[in-house]
C-alpha cells in the first residue's frame, strides 16, 4: 500500500498505545474538556458543579440517567431551541435510534466531536486490521444503505447514526484514506428502494470482482440477507453483465442511471460467474469463489448478530470473519484491535479520549443463572472508573460524551476480558432490557407488554382474557419470527384470534422491527394459543427446581436453553395463527 500509508498506520497505532498506557490520566483530561466546553449549558448548571471538572465532583453532583431523563431537553433542541441546553455549542444534527419502547425512535444529539471520535475508532481498528490482513488500493463490496432524513420542527436534520456518517463529506474523505472505496455509487447507497439497492450492490460487486478486497456491512445479518438474495437472482445478474443492460426490476431513475454507467456487455465475466455458481455445492464458499482477492468479511457480529454467524461462515468458506467496533447510536466505546479473534470471542479496547466512561458493577444473586443476561436481576453497586474495573467481572456501561450525554446508562452489559496497557478490553454480553431481537429489531419486555395490551382490545367484545403470556424468538425457519404464547380464560372465535395475531405484529413499533418485516428479514409473527393450565404447569416446574412461589415471575421470553419450559409450551399448543398484517 505504499510507505506513506504504512507509516500512517504505524502512527495511528503508536498514538493508540500512548493513549492506553496512561488511560486514567487521559480519562481525567477528557472529562475536564467535556465539562469546560459544556459547563455553561443549562443541564449541567442545574446541578451546581460550579466550574468543577474533577471526576469525584462530577460523580457526586451529576446523577446517572437514562434516555427518558434527557428526553425533555433533547426535545427542546429538536423543536429549535438554540440556547445552550445540553452543550455549549448548538447541536446541529440528530441521530435516530431504532430502539424504542413507546413507538417512536429515540432522538440522540450528534455533533462534530462524535464525528471525530468515529473517524478515530475507524482509523484505529483499520490500522490493526491492516497490519494482520494487508489490503491493496482496491474496492470493498459494502452492503450499506442510507436511511430517510427527516427535518425536525426546529430545522435540524434527523436520521440514523450511520446515515449521518455516510452523508458527511469529512467522513467520506477520511474513509478514502483508510479503507477501500465502495463498489457501488452513492445513488445505490442512498437509493429509495432497499431491494433495488441490494441488487445493484451485488451487481457492482460482481463487475469489480477482481478488485474487491473485503466484504462489509454494518450488521452480519445484512450480509447473510444479501447472499440469500443472491441465491435467487444470480442468473439475472449474469444476464445483466452478459448483455450490458440493467434488469427491468431497477425502476429508480437515479439508481438506473448511475449503475448503467459502469455496466457494459462482458460475456466472458458473465460466463465465469455462471460456471462458478453452477459448480458450488449449496452455495458454500460463494464469497471467496466470486471475489478471489477478498481478505475477510467485516461487520458487527456480536450480540443479536451471533445467530447469523453459522450461515455467514457457510457463505464465507475459508475467509476470516471479523467483528466491527463497539458502539451505539449514543456514541463509540471501543475498537477491535485483535482482528484474529473469532467473533464469538472478540473484545473491544476502550479509547480513553473519546468520552468519559464509568462502569456499574453487576452481581448475579446467589443461585441465579440465565441463558440470556437481559433476564438476570442483577444487584448493582456504585459505578467505578475506566481503570478500576476488574477482569472477569460484569458491568453496565455509563457514557459521558461531548454531545450532551452525561452519566448516561447505555443498558449494555459487558465483561472485562483483560487490559490493553491500562485500558480495559470489553466483551459485549447483552442489552439489559432487550427481550426480543432477530435482526436490527430491539424490543423490550415493556414493548411485548404494550403489544399484548393492544391486542387485548380484540378480545374484549367476547369477554375473553389472557391468563398469561410469554414469547419466543423462533429461528428454526428462515427468516426467524416472533412467537407469542397466550393462555386464554375461555374460547375465542377464529376471526378474533386472527385479528389479535395481526394486532400483535403491528404493535411492535420499533423501527428495526418494522423495517425488517417490510423487507421480509423477519417472518410473520405467530400466535400460539395454549391449553388451560399451561402456566400452572410452568410454575410447578420452577417450584420443583426449588423456586419460591412468592418470588416467581413468568418468564416473558423463553430461550433455547430452557428446554423444559419450551416442551411444556409446545405440547400444550391447541391453535396457532400467522400474521397477515404485512401482506404475508
Cα gap 215→21, rounded to integer Å: 33
Answer whether the bond into residue 479 is a cis peptide, omega within 30°.
yes
Q: Which DSSP string do the residues of 277-326 spell out, in sequence order? A: HHH-STTTTHHHHH-TT--EEEEE-SGGGGGGHHHHHHHHTTSPEEE--E
**Taking the alpha carbons of 308, 237, 212, 253 in that order, is the dihedral positive or negative?**
negative
pLDDT reported for residue 104: 47
Gap between the Cα atoms of 276 and 317, Å rounded: 14
Residue pair 105/94 in contact (Cβ under 8 Å)? The answer is no
Distance CA 113, CA 400 (A): 12
pTM of this structure = 0.73
CB hemisphere CA count around 571 (13 angstroms): 8
Q: How far apart are CA 215 and CA 257, in angstroms?
A: 24
Q: How far apart are CA 474 and CA 561, in angstroms?
A: 13
C-alpha cell at 161: 447514526
CA distance to 107, 208, 246, 312, 510, per residue, from 276 (Å): 46, 16, 21, 19, 40
- Residue 106: beta bridge partners? 97
Contact status, residue 331 vs residue 111, Cβ threshold 8 Å: no
First to last CA, the chain: 49
Cα 74 off chain centre by: 22
Asked if residues 432 and 66 have their Cβ atoms less than 8 Å apart, the reply is no
Distance CA 542, CA 558 (A): 13
Gap between the Cα atoms of 26 and 29, Å rounded: 5
CA-nearest of 149, 165, 201 to 327 is 165
DSSP at 533: T
The whole-angstrom separation of Cα 562 and Cα 554 is 13
Name the one residue in this structure whose C-alpha cell is 467481572.
393
* Integer CA distances (angstroms), 522 to 152, 187, 225, 438, 472, in order: 30, 26, 11, 7, 13
CA-based nearest residue to 435, from 408, 470, 399: 470
Cα 104 from Cα 96, distance rounded (Å): 9
Q: H-helix or E-strand containing 405?
A: none
Average pLDDT for runs of 10 along the chain of length 584:
58 93 96 94 92 94 93 90 90 67 62 83 90 85 80 77 68 64 87 86 96 90 85 95 95 95 96 95 94 94 73 92 89 93 94 96 66 57 95 95 94 93 92 75 77 87 83 89 92 92 90 86 94 86 57 71 87 94 77
Q: Which is nearest to 503 in space by CA: 439, 451, 566, 541?
A: 451
Question: Residue 248 carries which DSSP code?
Answer: T
CB 320 within 8 A of CB 133: yes
CA-nearest of 358, 368, 363 to 380 is 363
Secondary structure (3-state) at 355: coil
If we measure between CA atoms, which residue out of 25, 121, 47 comes closest to residue 337?
121
The H-or-E segment that residue 47 falls in is none
Amino acid at each position: 500500500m505504499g510507505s506513506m500509508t504504512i507509516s500512517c498506520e504505524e502512527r495511528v497505532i503508536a498514538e493508540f498505545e500512548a493513549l492506553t498506557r496512561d488511560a486514567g490520566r487521559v480519562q481525567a483530561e477528557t472529562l475536564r474538556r467535556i465539562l469546560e466546553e459544556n459547563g455553561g449549558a443549562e443541564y449541567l448548571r442545574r446541578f451546581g458543579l460550579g466550574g468543577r471538572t474533577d471526576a469525584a465532583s462530577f460523580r457526586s453532583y451529576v446523577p446517572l440517567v437514562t434516555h427518558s431523563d434527557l428526553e425533555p431537553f433533547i426535545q427542546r433542541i429538536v423543536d429549535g431551541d438554540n440556547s445552550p441546553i445540553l452543550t455549549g455549542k448548538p447541536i446541529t444534527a440528530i441521530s435516530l435510534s431504532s430502539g424504542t419502547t413507546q413507538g417512536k425512535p429515540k432522538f440522540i444529539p450528534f455533533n462534530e466531536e462524535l464525528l471525530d471520535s468515529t473517524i478515530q475508532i475507524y482509523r484505529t481498528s483499520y490500522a490493526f486490521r491492516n497490519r494482520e490482513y494487508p489490503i491493496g488500493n482496491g474496492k470493498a463490496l459494502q452492503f450499506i444503505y442510507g436511511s430517510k432524513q427527516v427535518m425536525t420542527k426546529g430545522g435540524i436534520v434527523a436520521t440514523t447514526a450511520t446515515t449521518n456518517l455516510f452523508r458527511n463529506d469529512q467522513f467520506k474523505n477520511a474513509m478514502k484514506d483508510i479503507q477501500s472505496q465502495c463498489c457501488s455509487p452513492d445513488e445505490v447507497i442512498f437509493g429509495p428502494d432497499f431491494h433495488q439497492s441490494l441488487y445493484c450492490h451485488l451487481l457492482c460487486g460482481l463487475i469489480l470482482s477482481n478488485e474487491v478486497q473485503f466484504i462489509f456491512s454494518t450488521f452480519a445479518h445484512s450480509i447473510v440477507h444479501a447472499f440469500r438474495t443472491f441465491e435467487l437472482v444470480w442468473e439475472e445478474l449474469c444476464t445483466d453483465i452478459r448483455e450490458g443492460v440493467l434488469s427491468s426490476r431497477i425502476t429508480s431513475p437515479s439508481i438506473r442511471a448511475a449503475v448503467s454507467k459502469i455496466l457494459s456487455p462482458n460475456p466472458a465475466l458473465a460466463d465465469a460467474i455462471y460456471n462458478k455458481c453452477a459448480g458450488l455445492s449449496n452455495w458454500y464458499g460463494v464469497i471467496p469463489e466470486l471475489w478471489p482477492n477478498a481478505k475477510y468479511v467485516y461487520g458487527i457480529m456480536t450480540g443479536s448478530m451471533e445467530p447469523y454467524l453459522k450461515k455467514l461462515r457457510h457463505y464465507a468458506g475459508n475467509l476470516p470473519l471479523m467483528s466491527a467496533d463497539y458502539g451505539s447510536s449514543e456514541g463509540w466505546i471501543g475498537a477491535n484491535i485483535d482482528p484474529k479473534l473469532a467473533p464469538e470471542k472478540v473484545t473491544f479496547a476502550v479509547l480513553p479520549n473519546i468520552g468519559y466512561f464509568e462502569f456499574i458493577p453487576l452481581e448475579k444473586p446467589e443461585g441465579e443463572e440465565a441463558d440470556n443476561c437481559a433476564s438476570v436481576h442483577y444487584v448493582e453497586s456504585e459505578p467505578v472508573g475506566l481503570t478500576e474495573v476488574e477482569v472477569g467481572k460484569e458491568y453496565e456501561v455509563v457514557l459521558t460524551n461531548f454531545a450532551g450525554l452525561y452519566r448516561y446508562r447505555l443498558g449494555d452489559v459487558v465483561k472485562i476480558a483483560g487490559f490493553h496497557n491500562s485500558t480495559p478490553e470489553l466483551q459485549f454480553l447483552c442489552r439489559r432490557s432487550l427481550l426480543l431481537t432477530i435482526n436490527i429489531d430491539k424490543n423490550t419486555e415493556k414493548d411485548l407488554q404494550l403489544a399484548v395490551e393492544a391486542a387485548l382490545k380484540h378480545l374484549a367484545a367476547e369477554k375473553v382474557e389472557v391468563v398469561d403470556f410469554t414469547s419466543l424468538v423462533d429461528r428454526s425457519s428462515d427468516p426467524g419470527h416472533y412467537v407469542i404464547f397466550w393462555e386464554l380464560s375461555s374460547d375465542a372465535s377464529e376471526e378474533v384470534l386472527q385479528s389479535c395475531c395481526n394486532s400483535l405484529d403491528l404493535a411492535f413499533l420499533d423501527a428495526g422491527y418494522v423495517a425488517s418485516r417490510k423487507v421480509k428479514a423477519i417472518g410473520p409473527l405467530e400466535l400460539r394459543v395454549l391449553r388451560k393450565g399451561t402456566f400452572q404447569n410452568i410454575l410447578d416446574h420452577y417450584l420443583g427446581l426449588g423456586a419460591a412461589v412468592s418470588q416467581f415471575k413468568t418468564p416473558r421470553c423463553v430461550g433455547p436453553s430452557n428446554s423444559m419450559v419450551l416442551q411444556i409450551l409446545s405440547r400444550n399448543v391447541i391453535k396457532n395463527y400467522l400474521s397477515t398484517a404485512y401482506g404475508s
